Amino acid sequence: MTKLRAVKGMNDLLPEELGRWRRLESIFRETAERYGFGEIRTPLLEPTELFVRSIGEATDIVEKEMYTFHDKGEKNLTLRPEGTASCARAYLEHTVGAREAITRWYYLGPMFRRERPTRGRYRQFHQAGVEVYGDPGPFIDAEIIDMLVRFLSELGIVDLRVLLNSLGDQETRQNYREALIRYLEPHRGSLSADSQRRLETNPLRILDSKAPEDQAIIEDAPSILEHLSEEDQAHFDGVRRTLDRLGTPYEIEPRLVRGLDYYSRTLFEVQGRGGELGAQNALAGGGRYDGMIEELGGKATPAFGFALGIERLLLAMGEAEDESRPRVMILAANDEARVEAVALARELRDAGFNIETDLRGTSLKSQLRRADRSGAALAFILGDDELARGVVQWKRLEGEGSGESPREGIASVVAELLGQKVG
């Protein structure tokens, strides 16, 4: 029989890894809430059409990376490849815009893209993101970029670059698209096959190409920043002025286009340099997408957001200390003591401690050996003698020390040994 394994590019997350995940998630939630965001959770499955219409037909995601299937007799469904489209759909479906002038949402959860898996790139990965509806910017754009940078620095990720660009409004992009095609057309034969195809479908994405044969050509391409209208320029200046005032460092990168079609005006990406990131150094990206809500059938509504990749942040953070709360192991020498161990464990859990029991009936020696390797901070040992005298033995598993304490009022002894308050 073939061995059953997880789907390629999709990972199990075991308890020993999840301590870091949960810490990151809780700092993200706290940060988002401090900035006035409320959480939204949307389904993992959406109508395929949602992503085709919002992300854009000629993008890598829609062309080749979506997990799509036909739902028996119903329509095509797709596992969400990102969060922005789902939030926009929910915003429309619940007519949120009619009730609120400005809406601030954040989300966390798994996303699915059929990419080639490598370190930092998976087929099921996790994003955290925010969306703001109803504010045309530019000041909010800077506020949110700064929020992201501060969140990253709270995680200890300070070795980073913020790349900033403006794609202008629809008319600007149309003009630029034409200028870019005019420039690229004479080089058509020297471009990579992918870029030749994109020349027809999505020429801006050529700027994003990693193919070596494209690099010199891209280098001399006209810059979108030279095509900004007066309003686009004023918007871009407003973002920059606010970031400058906040002291948030950024670099202007006129070739930044990113993989989604829905952006307008402000576009940014945060790249990491430290930790174990390697080639997948894009930590987060986002920007303004003023056209999306209208594209999905709603009233024109300005919008701004970003998404960050949780796996990438964990790589950028490197090996951090496990900060999960210390555990206490309760060991017992015989069945009578095991009954008492269960009761003692319940009492300590009620007092707010994390307790694990070992009730299998193995020798105390082997229980102690296991406790030593378990990562627990403290072991309590119960046997006939302890039961008769109304005491428990304790032994530190991290560092040195052991002793005996009365069973009565044991919670305060645990608190003292762990250096915690009784819950």
Q: Under the rule (CB under 6 A), what is the footprint of ligand AMP?
A: 82, 113, 115, 121-122, 125, 127, 259, 282-285, 307-309, 311-312
Query: Quick one: 176 or 262, whose CB is closer to ligand AMP?
Result: 262
| List of residues 6+ apart from 28 with CB closer than 8 A | 106, 108, 128, 151
**Tokens standing for residue 338:** 């095991």
Query: Quick one: 120 or 138, whose CB is closer to ligand AMP?
Result: 120
Helix residue spans in 229-358 (DSSP H)? 230-246, 292-295, 310-317, 335-350
Q: How many CA atoms lie within 13 A of 333 on its CB side?
A: 9
Query: Quick one: 138 or 285, whose CB is closer to ligand AMP?
Result: 285
Q: Which helix (H) or strand (E) holds 133?
A: strand 124-133
Query: Quick one: 271 or 301, whose CB is closer to ligand AMP?
Result: 271
CB of 423 to ligand AMP, least distance (A): 37
Query: Quick one: 46 or 311, whose CB is closer to ligand AMP?
Result: 311
CB of 418 to ligand AMP, least distance (A): 37
Shortest-Cβ-distance residue relative to ligand AMP: 309
Query: Quick one: 66 or 328, whose CB is closer to ligand AMP?
Result: 66
Task: Establish whether the linkage from the previous residue to 138 is cis, with ω within 30° of 0.
Answer: yes
Separation of alpha carbons 391 and 406, rounded Å: 4
Q: Which helix (H) or strand (E) holds 327?
A: strand 327-332
Query: Quick one: 282 or 333, whose CB is closer to ligand AMP?
Result: 282
CB of 308 to ligand AMP, least distance (A): 6
CB of 117 to ligand AMP, least distance (A): 8
Beta bridge partners of 258: none
Are 272 and 107 in contact by the 8 Å Cβ rule? The answer is no
Q: Count Cβ neighbours within 10 Å for each residue of 162-182 and write b for 16 or more, e otherwise.
A: bbbbbbbbeebbeebeebbee
CB of 148 to ligand AMP, least distance (A): 11
Query: Quick one: 89 or 121, whose CB is closer to ligand AMP?
Result: 121
CB of 353 to ligand AMP, least distance (A): 36
Four-CA torsion 386, 390, 396, 397, nearest 10 degrees: 50
CB of 120 to ligand AMP, least distance (A): 6
Amino acid identity for residue 191 in this structure: L
Four-CA torsion 145, 149, 150, 153, nearest 10 degrees: 170
CB of 255 to ligand AMP, least distance (A): 16
